[in-house]
Amino acid sequence: MTVTDSQKMAYVAAQAADARVNLQFETEDGMTLNMGPQHPATHGTLRIVAQLDGEQVVRCEPIPGYMHRGYEKLCEVRTYPQVTTLINRIDWLGSFANEVPFILAAEKLMDVEAPPRAQVIRTILFELSRLGNISLFLGDLGIQLGGITIGFYAFRDREFVLNQIEAATGGRFHPNFDRIGGLKDDLPKGWIAETHRAMDRMRRLCDEFEELVLGNEIFQARTRGIGVIPADIATSYGMSGANLRATGVDWDLRRDACPPGLSYDLADWKVWTHPDGDSYARTWVRLQEVRESTHIVDQLLDSIPAGPIMAKVPRIIKVPEGEAWVATENPLGEMGYYVVSKGDLVPFRVKIRSASFNNISVVPWVTRGVFVPDVITIMASLYFILGDIDR
Amino acid sequence: MSELIFAIELAYWQQTLIKVLVAAVLIPTTALILGIVFLFKMMSWMQSRMGPQEAGPRGLLQLAADGLKFLQKEDIIPDRADRFVFKAAPVVVLASTFLTYVILPAGPDLIIENLPTGIFFAMAVSSLSVVGVLMAGWSSSNKYALMGGLRAGGQLIAYELPLILAVMGVVIQAGSLSMQDIVWAQADGSMFGFGGLGLPFVITQIVAFFIFMVAIQAELTQPPFDMPVAESEVVGGFHVEYTGFRFLFFFLGEFATAFAFAAIAATLFLGGWWVPGIDPNSALANIVGPIALFVKIMVVAFLIFWFRFTYPRFREDQLQRFAWKYLIPLALANITITGILVVVL
């Protein structure tokens, strides 16, 4: 088998790109440390190239792309119902939340609206995936900082949330449950009471986290004043979600720009912000968010209206010509889909805006002059999912 | 004292042979006991897990199985490693552990060598392990290993001084550096004029006990002071390139050293092999002594591992600040007050 010229060129280009990154950081005094693609702190295949002076970071750059799966392109050859299977895998810890903005965008183009019952259940599942995602952050932060016990507590209690997602949708990790015009199925029997109990477990996990980690002097010494991101820097880098709220910006898409199809207005809840903008603030805001989510779920569970769970939608879905942009407040931050349709079975173009890519783009700015352990703290507290960076 | 073991006369070579055999069996056994009881079982229970279940009764043989697994692994030496130093490093670490066991008394006659400067010797040889760690870090030709090794070296300066200063308080009160004499001093002491219970130095030297516990946590590179081996930062640090048997050496060294330091703490502060109510001169003390010492060691080791599983990790500079600003002044104040009180009373 002969190697074609284009393959040769691609190989040379890849080698050159790699060499450039390495060369940029090689200096006479100092050391270049490649953290990753396989490193315990990157939970995935993120590569962090850091130029060090002793233990101090002179320059640090995250290099994503080792797990790029080309979902935007793949979406163009999948029919609309098939797309949800793909985009489930973007933020794999809060999978259901990935489906919702795409489905909402398709609903917007088709001009259908899910019945009220489906909307409420959709919102509940959306919040459950947020709990499943952020509770793992609480554990992971402990593991990254050396206190592994809280990690196991988080895994233990997250199981109750995953069980509820599984009971309702059939999938623990990748529910693939949201449909254009409603949901695939109704809730199983006894699910509401069980979910209330799971919410109690989550609240107890929050209390445990507060006692074991957040109140710990060592934890505070490691996180307070580390990785401070001011509000203007955060907004100029396009950060969103809890990372943005930890800088004091009071912005939550669930409250400020909730797209039709989600019923957050039925619940009484609060958006938490923290003025500091450091790693501690990001942790604190996420902890409060978990608590707030459990309250949202508790209230919505008691106010599920009766009725159908599916609107009248044709069996073969053809989306009329047009363009739509829908963004929701996902566990990691703002996630949006820009869907362009040419009136076909498949989308003409899908642009995915995922939160983690913007959130970690601030890393070179925020890691200048910190120590190597602080890089770990900052990366852990910025909280990225690699699938959400690379798509 | 050590010429007589259970009143049997033995030639010098016979004694030496017995001592070597005891040490060779004892050190892996203690490492296994600590590993299974605390690292596997207690850690699992604290983290609401089951722990190992399958190997042996209640999974108690899991660590032995893991040890056997290490023996089967391929012995990999990195291409650019400094081969001689790379091979020597685990031996140096384990040698320092072996030497620490020399001065541990388990009964009035059960001691490998009752050195008159026992505790001083223990402090000196235990810091030898850092040389092995630095050797491993440097010779691996790995950036993470190098960082881990240098962190261990930096940590040595921070914790070794408080460790020795904390011991000084006990030494002043006992009036001797010999481990046996320190036990005897605690057995002879009296609390408020009542001599039946003796005087474990943890009562009078509670500050020194606290400093000692913090410092051995750093010596053993356990959380909250595990920066040299921090998994999420330097991916295991100095032993990142070691596999199989050589890694097992590091592992054995770590846990056997934990046992040795728990034994030193039990001897210095909890009375060692001495039990109230048993005449320390009788032959019975030679039988009860090891058991009492083991129980006390387990109590201390429980404290060590409890900290390990609870706290997050310090940063290297924070450890330096903590040691120089708080531990060392506290230890110096403790020595001063102890010295004054010993002279006055």
DSSP result, B160-199: HHHHHHHHHHHHHHHT-S-HHHHHHHHHH--BTTB-TT--
How many angstroms separate the Cα of A374 from the Cα of each of A156, A382, B140, B227? 28, 12, 25, 12
Rounded distance between C-alpha atoms, residue B45 and residue A157, angstroms: 16
Contact flag A144-B232 (C-beta cutoff 8 Å) = yes
Which domains does chain A show, CATH number per domain? 71-362 (1.10.645.10)
Rounded distance between C-alpha atoms, residue A106 and residue A324, angstroms: 8
Average pLDDT, whole number, for chain B?
84
Token pair 């060369």 is found at: A23
Confidence band, pLDDT 50/70/90 cuts, at residue B1: very low
How many angstroms separate the Cα of B332 from the Cα of each of A192, B95, B167, B318? 62, 31, 11, 20
Nearest CB to B235 within list A31, A40, A218: A40
Rounded distance between C-alpha atoms, residue A377 and residue A366, angstroms: 12
Crossing angle of helices B244-269 and B12-34, rounded to 10°: 100
Contact flag A152-B312 (C-beta cutoff 8 Å) = no
Sign of CA dihedral A263, A264, A265, A268: positive
Residue A288: which residues within 8 A CB-CB, separation 6 or more?
A272
Question: What are the counts of helices (DSSP H) followed by strands (DSSP E) for chain B?
Answer: 15, 2
Q: Average pLDDT, stretch B179-184?
A: 84
Query: Amino acid letter at B309?
Result: F
Whether B311 and chain A come into contact, CB under 8 Å, resolves to yes
Long-range contacts made by residues B70-76, C-beta under 8 angstroms, separation at least 24? Answer: B70/B244, B70/B245, B70/B247, B70/B248, B70/B251, B71/B244, B71/B245, B71/B248, B72/B244, B73/B243, B73/B244, B73/B245, B74/B243, B74/B244, B75/B243, B75/B244, B75/B245, B75/B246, B76/B241, B76/B243, B76/B244
pLDDT of A284 reads 92
Note the helical H segments in B311-327.
316-322
Contact residues, chain A, for B45 at CB < 8 Å? none
The residue of B233, B309, B311 whose CB has the most chain A CBs within 10 angstroms, and thus the best one to mutate to test that interface, is B233
Nearest CB to A373 within list B223, B233, B309: B233
**pLDDT, tens digit, for every residue of B198-224?**
778 877 888 889 999 988 888 888 888
Contact residues, chain A, for B154 at CB < 8 Å? none
Contact flag A147-B317 (C-beta cutoff 8 Å) = no
pLDDT of B3 reads 44
Question: In this model, does residue B54 exceed pLDDT 60?
Answer: yes
> What is the DSSP secondary structure assignment for residue B82, as one 8-state letter?
-
Note the helical H segments in A225-329.
231-236, 242-245, 253-256, 279-301
Rounded distance between C-alpha atoms, residue A367 and residue A378, angstroms: 8
The residue of chain B with its CA nearest to that of A140 is B232
Sign of CA dihedral A129, A130, A133, A136: negative
* Residue B310, min C-alpha distance to chain A (Å): 6
Confidence band, pLDDT 50/70/90 cuts, at residue B196: low
Q: Nearest-5° angle of CA A13, CA A19, CA A25? A: 145
Contact residues, chain A, for B233 at CB < 8 Å? 41, 372-373, 376
Whether B190 and chain A come into contact, CB under 8 Å, resolves to no
Contact flag B232-A222 (C-beta cutoff 8 Å) = no
Whether residue A114 contacts residue A99, with contact meaning beta carbons closer than 8 Å, is answered with no
Contact residues, chain B, for A222 at CB < 8 Å? 312-315, 318
Burial pattern A229-253, b for ≥16 Cβ within 10 A else e, equals bebeebeebbbbbbbbbbbebebbb
Contact residues, chain A, for B314 at CB < 8 Å? 218, 221-222
Rounded to the nearest angstrom, the gap between the alpha carbon of residue B296 and the centroid of all alpha carbons in its chain is 13
**Phi, psi of B39, deg, nearest 5:** -65, -40
Percent of chain B clearing pLDDT 70 (strictly above)? 95
User: Which positions of chain A have pLDDT values less than 50?
Assistant: none
Contact residues, chain A, for B224 at CB < 8 Å? 146, 218
Rounded distance between C-alpha atoms, residue B294 and residue B24, angstroms: 18
The residue of B50, B155, B311, B325 whose CB has the most chain A CBs within 10 angstroms, and thus the best one to mutate to test that interface, is B311
pLDDT of A294 reads 92
**pLDDT, tens digit, for every residue of A130-168?**
998 998 888 888 888 888 888 889 888 888 999 999 998
Contact residues, chain B, for A148 at CB < 8 Å? 47, 309
Contact flag A216-B46 (C-beta cutoff 8 Å) = no
Q: Determine the 3-state secondary structure of A324 from DSSP.
A: strand
Rounded distance between C-alpha atoms, residue A177 and residue A179, angstroms: 6
Burial pattern A175-195, b for ≥16 Cβ within 10 A else e, equals bbbbbbbbbbeebeeebeebb
Rounded distance between C-alpha atoms, residue A30 and residue A32, angstroms: 7
Rounded to the nearest angstrom, the gap between the alpha carbon of residue A227 and the centroid of all alpha carbons in its chain is 20
pTM above 0.90, yes or no: no
Whether residue A323 contacts residue A336, with contact meaning beta carbons closer than 8 Å, is answered with no
Whether B227 and chain A come into contact, CB under 8 Å, resolves to yes
Contact flag A33-B143 (C-beta cutoff 8 Å) = yes
Tokens of A31: 């050391």
Tokens of B85: 């130093």
Rounded distance between C-alpha atoms, residue A20 and residue A34, angstroms: 14
**Is A42 exposed, middle or buried, given 0-12, 13-18 or 19+ CB atoms closer than 10 A?**
buried
Interface of B with A in 119-158 (CB under 8 A): 143-144, 147
Contact flag A372-B147 (C-beta cutoff 8 Å) = yes
Question: In this model, does residue B5 exceed pLDDT 70?
Answer: no
Tokens of B60: 């108690």
CB atoms under 10 Å from CB of A7, counted, come to: 10
Rounded distance between C-alpha atoms, residue B48 and residue B313, angstroms: 21
**pLDDT, tens digit, for every residue of B146-181?**
888 888 888 887 888 888 888 988 888 888 888 888
